[in-house]
């Protein structure tokens, strides 16, 4: 499927065939594509929690407004990020780069993030947002539908997945075979309202 078509056809789908099984090859393909999403300084701070256990899915659904996507989607991912990825052997993020590049970038990572809690959190959300969109467009290209989700109790989900203290949850992405058409589009604002030329 063409990129333009995948973007235009992706919709937030709420109903999925609970019996459809994705192959492991499809799951791996989606996650491998998601990892091609950009991250600042290539810190690859996203962590993709693939929830496979039906009991855990049910428990998550209970703290996610009982939304059926959580249990019925073929692939259900809690997109998390490691807030401290920037400090965990950052030289490995540039392991394939020439030494001169690595020597330049690695210290820059440290000075960009150290002591800046808000920047670390913002970066987590930026990275996960981009990975989520990659996942959803790739899923569309593979004949699947998807739903991004933040309608859940973040603390409760964190406890259920044993979220480490230095990680955050950004959103869920549910992917599967839709069984019902998406809601009609809510409507789009005029381009002129959201596009600002040069300055506000």
User: What does the binding site for ligand FMN look like in residue numbers (CB under 6 A)?
Assistant: 11-12, 14, 67, 147-151, 171, 182, 185-186
Per-residue 3-state assignment (H helix, E strand, C coil) for the chain: CCHHHHHHHCCECCCECCCCCCCHHHHHHHHHHHCCCCCHHHCCCEEEEECCCHHHHHHHHHCCCCCCHHHHCCEEEEEEEECCHHHCCHHHHHCCCCHHHHHHHHHHHHHHHCCCHHHHHHHHHHHHHHHHHHHHHHHHHCCCEEEEECCCCHHHHHHHCCCCCCEEEEEEEEEECECCCCCCCCCCCCHHHHCCCCCC
Nearest distance, CB of residue 105 and ligand FMN, angstroms: 30
Task: Round to whole Å and give the CA distance between 94 and 41.
Answer: 9
CB-nearer residue toward ligand FMN: 102 or 182: 182
User: Smaller CB distance to ligand FMN: residue 6 or 106?
Assistant: 6
- Of the pair 67, 87, the CB lying nearest ligand FMN is at 67
Q: Which residue is nearest to ligand FMN (CB)?
A: 151
- Name the minimum Å distance from CB 152 to ligand FMN: 7
Token pair of 152, please?
Answer: 């859940």
Residue 94 CB, nearest distance to ligand FMN (Å)? Answer: 31
In the complex, minimum distance from the CB of residue 126 to ligand FMN, in angstroms, rounded to a whole number:
13
Q: Which is nearer to ligand FMN, 65 or 104 (CB)?
A: 65
Q: How far apart are CA 103 and CA 114, in angstroms?
A: 18
Question: 22 vs 128, which CB is nearer to ligand FMN?
Answer: 128
CB of 183 to ligand FMN, least distance (A): 7
């Amino acid at each position: 499927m063409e990129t333009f078509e995948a973007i235009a056809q992706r919709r937030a789908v709420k109903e999925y065939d609970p019996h459809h099984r994705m192959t492991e090859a499809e799951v791996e393909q989606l996650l491998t594509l998601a990892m091609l999403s950009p991250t600042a300084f290539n810190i690859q701070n996203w962590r993709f929690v693939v929830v496979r256990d039906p009991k855990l899915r049910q428990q998550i659904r209970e703290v996610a407004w009982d939304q059926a996507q959580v249990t019925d989607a073929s692939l259900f991912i809690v997109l998390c990020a490691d807030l401290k990825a920037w400090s965990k052997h950052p030289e490995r993020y540039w392991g394939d780069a020439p030494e001169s590049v690595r020597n330049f970038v690695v210290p820059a990572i440290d000075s960009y993030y150290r002591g800046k809690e808000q920047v670390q959190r913002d970066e987590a959300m930026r990275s996960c947002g981009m990975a989520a969109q990659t996942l959803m467009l790739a899923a569309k290209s593979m004949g699947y539908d998807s739903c991004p989700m933040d309608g859940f109790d973040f603390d409760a989900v964190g406890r259920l997945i044993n979220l480490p203290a230095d990680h955050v949850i950004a959103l869920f992405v549910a992917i599967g075979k839709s069984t019902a058409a998406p809601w009609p589009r809510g409507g789009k604002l005029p381009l002129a309202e959201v596009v600002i030329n040069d300055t506000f």
